[in-house]
Amino acid sequence: MRIVLGSDHAGYPLKAAIIEHLEAKQIEVLDVGAKSADKAESYVNFGEKTAQVVARGEADFGIVICGTGIGISIAANKVKGIRCALCTNEFMSALSRKHNDANMLALGARVVAPHFAKAIVDAFLDARFEGERHAVRVGEICALED
């Protein structure tokens, strides 16, 4: 499994903790930036950059992080083929995969503590799309892009 991560400066410390968590699980990680918390950088650029990697099929899933997760999730969702879910708990995270076939997860570094964020990531990666009636809804969502 290959996961691409992107964050702005506010999300950088949480992104670093998530990368460490994923690498400890032997999951391949691609980090598209930001590279530090020191320089203010736009969440828009990193949301789009991360989403493009997922949309091109160069990663199985993406994780984006900014202060609240809101702005970066909106940016990621502008890329065709992306279903980025902003989640604040494990239940939301698992259902975003099971019911919405989310291919990206957004987290808010100023909203979710690192130990909770790691559990949210695990729930996202462990869940599987249930298909059936949910596939109809996902199809309707995808049709909005056309």
Q: Are 36 and 97 in contact (CB under 8 A)?
A: no
Q: Is 142 a catalytic residue?
A: no
Report yes or no: 65 and 109 within 8 Å, Cβ to Cβ.
yes
Q: Is 99 a catalytic residue?
A: yes
Closest CA to 43 of 78, 82, 17: 78
The catalytic position among 99, 115, 134, 142 is: 99
How many of the other CB atoms lie within 10 Å of CB of 88?
A: 17
Rg, C-alpha atoms of the chain = 14
* Residue of 9, 21, 66, 84 with catalytic role: 66
Hey, which residues are catalytic here? 66, 99
